[in-house]
A = this chain, B = another copy of it.
Amino acid sequence: MSATLLENVNTLCSDCPVKSTTLCATTNILGHTELSKISHVKTVPSGGTVLGDDAEASFVATVLRGVVRVTKSMRDGREQIVGLVYPGEFFGRLFADRTSFSYEAASDLVLCVMDRHGFEAVLQRHPELEHEIMLRGFNDLARAYERSMLLTAQSTLERVSTYLLVTLDRREQLLEHMSVELHKRVSVSVLTRRDMASYLGTTIETISRHVHYLAAQGVIRIIDASHFEVLNHIRLMSISGLTGSDLAVLSGRPPSSTTSAINSGYK
């Protein structure tokens, strides 16, 4: 694990790497102050558990750096990744005492952790924040529905293609925010093959085969096991079978969230 990422983490909100996309950006100074009072920065090394399954839901958090995997286990031990949480996104179980899923570090994590009860109290005083939480929940739901289709209607090759497109999209979103233009068109998977397989509902062998098939077709170029240059974006989209708006939902770019109109009512 790259220890450098977890060292010397700045805990000032003004230096927050995702401040423009978090909940904090949707409230006023007062709400912001209240939130900062109950939050603190926490790091979790890759593979670590943030919140176990059926554990006390004592806190919620925003991801500052890294990716959280949300998993669900069956009685016999089979485990399945049901969702991923990317930087700027919020996760945790609100208004319930116990978690229904396990939250784990898919990579080295930097989190902005908030006490759950404290957070719920802030929500009560700030309807605009609760509104934002609700909207984010709707987006999560749309993404989950999209994934339902992905996991059943799509073949494994289509799923792998979709995954490459989503990671590419997410990477470009991050670069946009950081105002950097280099290394575009490169899809970066923070997940190990094992996690990819679990997330896509298949096996590491099948993924390996499909990735190499796409490379043989000239659609992508394999840089290393987790970096892929997308050579033919159109073709990759065509193979994935998805529409642009499908991918937007999966990449966390809400297609037409007309939240501003209603939001203004709260100010």
Q: Is A95 a contact partner of B135 (Cβ separation < 8 A)?
A: yes
Q: List 23 A-B contacts (CB under 8 A).
A: A72-B145, A72-B148, A72-B149, A74-B242, A75-B241, A76-B241, A95-B135, A95-B259, A95-B262, A96-B138, A96-B255, A97-B256, A98-B255, A98-B256, A101-B145, A124-B265, A127-B130, A130-B134, A133-B134, A134-B137, A137-B141, A144-B148, A151-B151
A57-85 Cβ-contact flags toward B at 8 Å (1 or 0)? 00000000000001010111011101100
Number of interface residues of A (CB under 8 A): 56
A257 touches B (CB below 8 Å): yes
Question: Given A74-B241, A95-B258, A145-B83, A151 and B152 touching (CB < 8 A)?
Answer: yes
Question: Given A135-B95, A138-B137, A148 and B242 touching (CB < 8 A)?
Answer: no
A141 is contacted by which of B72, B144, B146 (Cβ under 8 Å)?
B144
* Across-interface contacts of A95 in B (CB, < 8 A): 135, 138, 257-259, 262
A131-171 Cβ-contact flags toward B at 8 Å (1 or 0)? 10111011011101111110111100000000000000000
Number of copies: 2
Q: Is A147 a contact partner of B149 (Cβ separation < 8 A)?
A: no
Q: Given the complex of chains A and B, what is the CA–CA distance between A262 and B96 in angstroms?
A: 10
Q: Is B148 a contact partner of A82 (Cβ separation < 8 A)?
A: yes
Question: Given A151-B201, A153-B78, A153-B80, A96 and B145 touching (CB < 8 A)?
Answer: no
Nearest-neighbour CB distance to chain B for A250, whole angstroms, equals 12
Q: Given the complex of chains A and B, what is the CA–CA distance between A70 and B74 in angstroms?
A: 26
* Across-interface contacts of A97 in B (CB, < 8 A): 256, 258
* Across-interface contacts of A78 in B (CB, < 8 A): 153, 241
Most buried by B among A145, A151, A266: A145
A249 touches B (CB below 8 Å): yes
Q: Is B257 a contact partner of A96 (Cβ separation < 8 A)?
A: yes
A26 touches B (CB below 8 Å): no
* Across-interface contacts of A152 in B (CB, < 8 A): 80, 151, 201
A222 touches B (CB below 8 Å): no
Nearest-neighbour CB distance to chain B for A119, whole angstroms, equals 11
